[in-house]
Amino acid sequence: MQDTGQTNTPETAPPPEEPRPEPGARAASEAAAAAVREALRSQRPADARKQAAAALEAYGPDPDLYLLLGRAHVAEDEDDHDDEAERAYRRGLDAFPDHLALLTAYAELCRAADALDRPGRHARADRLMARVAELAPGSPEALRLSNPAPVWAAQPPTPRLSVSHTQRHDVRGALAAAPNLAEAARRADEEAGQHPYDLRLAIRAETLTAFLRPGRRLLLGQVRAPYLSVLAVLAVGALALVPESAAPWSMWAGAAALLTLVPYRLLTVLESGARSRAVHRTPPLPEGAPEPASPLPPPPPPGARDFVLLGTALTLAVFAVVSPLAFKYPADTSYPHYTATAPKTFRGAPLFSAVPVVDGVSSDMASLWTQALNTEGAFAYVYGELADPDGPIGPAALVFGAVGDFRNTPDKALKGYELGLAESDSTIDGVWKPDPGPDGRRLRCVSYADDSETPGSRVACSWVDNGSYGTVVMNEPGLSRPRDRHEGRPHGLGRGSASR
């Protein structure tokens, strides 16, 4: 052989040739591959796997048969079959390392793997996708893998349980199989040591170890019976939303509902910390090593009993929302509903000003009182003549107040006008409580006068019942009192009145 002076190094050596079957075997392999495809189209994955395995045994390595065998396993949508699909793809890539369809199918399988259950498989997706893009940039396979919504997302997805659901299921199983918490934690840690690459076992061991710390055992009830604990919290919360008028203890139920939420938050923090520690203690898989199968069985989805409990919890939640409306109407509207109407005269004095407005009567002076009250349903009526030939005179009487819900008005509200007099230069001569009548009515009267007036020149009576509140100020005796020329102001309403 002529020496060319060149030596093949690992960097310059040509890639190994893919095995080439004999022409007759190649034709037989293609016929077998067509039969496998037909079985897959007919939704017979078991027959497809059997035919593909038999053809590989009879005719030797074939990339299409390895690809179809992997797809026949993936069609089952089960963890065990996903493991078999990975083995088929890897055997095919060992014989045909640059086969684009095999690389693409294996990349799709790895990208669809759960990062918690199969971290090694999931991590290999990026390397496989990069290899496809390197071999065939811009090809349909490369574009499909670069799509953030892969093709398998269009298929009906298998419901995946949450990480917390799997974590609590594993902890419940360990607690049920051990006589106590300490023994369950010891067994879990020992099994995790025997399977160092199994993240799920590590999470279970770390979670049980966390429960051994002081004060953490109280959280186990939420792990043993999660749906019952949720039901209890919602029941207490529903009672908390019942208005206090219908259930005086609702405030205490609300405090209890808030307290029951604290353990849920503590449990979430505990589980999150356990998962974080498990990730740090689990070493990465050796390069090219297949994903080990976990000895733990997959957690079952929620059963009929769980759905019954959840349905009950939702019923309680609806009750919690609807109950305030159900109890609110009779409680908030069971007071007398009055309509304020101004008499045309009061103790012989004509109506001078009124709010609400009365036809033919001014509202200017009365509006000052309703503005001062600043209460919905307020009214004010002024009685008397304010002018005559001898000079200006003050009103003979003033009636002001409001209608509405006054069921819980305290007794001190009756002293409002009286307190105003105490801050003025008026002198209170007497205070008495006339008979107000039935149905919880209350009445308080006070007589007063200025220093220049006869004691008891004016009287003010305040009343309150479940549907109204107000005060009547009367300039007694006489309906028209001339201006006191020594005082320089009109009689009728003293400085202690609310108009000041």
pLDDT 10s digits, 134-144: 998 888 788 77
Q: What's the CA gap between 157 and 53, in Å, rounded?
A: 27
CA distances from 326 to 157, 236, 243, 320 (A): 42, 18, 10, 10
Q: pTM for the whole thing?
A: 0.37
Q: What is the DSSP string of 10-24?
A: TTTSPPPPPP---HH
In the prediction, which pLDDT does 249 show?
A: 46
In the prediction, which pLDDT does 448 show?
A: 87
Residue pair 491/484 in contact (Cβ under 8 Å)? The answer is yes
| Nearest residue to 440 (alpha-carbon basis) of 478, 477, 409 | 409
Residue pair 459/474 in contact (Cβ under 8 Å)? The answer is yes
In the prediction, which pLDDT does 5 show?
A: 41
Residue 204: is its pLDDT beyond 70?
Answer: yes
The pair of structure tokens assigned to 208 is 């049980």
| Residue type (1 letter), 45 | P
Residue pair 204/167 in contact (Cβ under 8 Å)? The answer is yes
Span 57-81, average pLDDT:
89
Give phi and psi for 10, each to the nearest 5. -55, -30
CA distances from 140 to 63, 75, 136, 429 (A): 19, 22, 9, 102
Query: Tokens 């349909």 belong to which residue?
Result: 140
Interval 231-266: pLDDT, tens:
666 665 555 555 444 444 445 555 555 555 676 777
Q: What's the CA gap between 444 and 464, in Å, rounded?
A: 9
Interval 188-197: pLDDT, tens:
999 988 888 8
Q: What's the CA gap between 293 and 318, in Å, rounded?
A: 44
Q: What's the CA gap between 160 and 115, in Å, rounded?
A: 12
Angle, helix 63-74 to helix 100-112, in steps of 10 degrees: 20
Residue 63: is its pLDDT beyond 70?
Answer: yes
CA distances from 404 to 208, 356, 407 (A): 61, 15, 9
Span 72-82, average pLDDT:
87
- Percent helix, percent strand, percent coil in the chain, to nearest 5: 50, 10, 40
Beta-bridge mates of residue 468: 403
Q: What's the CA gap between 177 and 187, in Å, rounded?
A: 10
Interval 27-49: pLDDT, tens:
788 888 888 888 887 778 888 99
Residue 311: is its pLDDT beyond 90?
Answer: no
Residue pair 443/461 in contact (Cβ under 8 Å)? The answer is yes
Q: Count CB atoms within 10 A of the CB of residue 243.
A: 16
The backbone region for 109, taken as left when phi is positive above 0, alpha when psi lies in -120 to 50, beta otherwise, is alpha
The pair of structure tokens assigned to 306 is 């769980």
In the prediction, which pLDDT does 102 show?
A: 92
The pair of structure tokens assigned to 430 is 């007497």
Three-class DSSP category at 164: helix
In the prediction, which pLDDT does 69 show?
A: 92
The pair of structure tokens assigned to 318 is 């609806």
Write down the H helix ranges in 216-361: 220-224, 226-240, 250-281, 304-332
> Cα 175 to the chain's mean position, in Å?
31
CA distances from 276 to 74, 184, 273 (A): 31, 20, 5
Name the percent of the chain lying above pLDDT 90.
13
On average, the pLDDT of the chain sits at 75
Say how many CA atoms lie within 13 Å of 148 toward its Cβ.
Answer: 0
In the prediction, which pLDDT does 68 show?
A: 92
Query: What count of residues does the chain have?
Result: 500
Interval 264-309: pLDDT, tens:
777 788 888 888 898 888 887 776 566 666 788 777 776 666 667 6
Residue pair 233/259 in contact (Cβ under 8 Å)? The answer is no
Q: What's the CA gap between 286 and 284, in Å, rounded?
A: 6
Q: What's the CA gap between 181 and 401, in Å, rounded?
A: 70
In the prediction, which pLDDT does 295 show?
A: 80
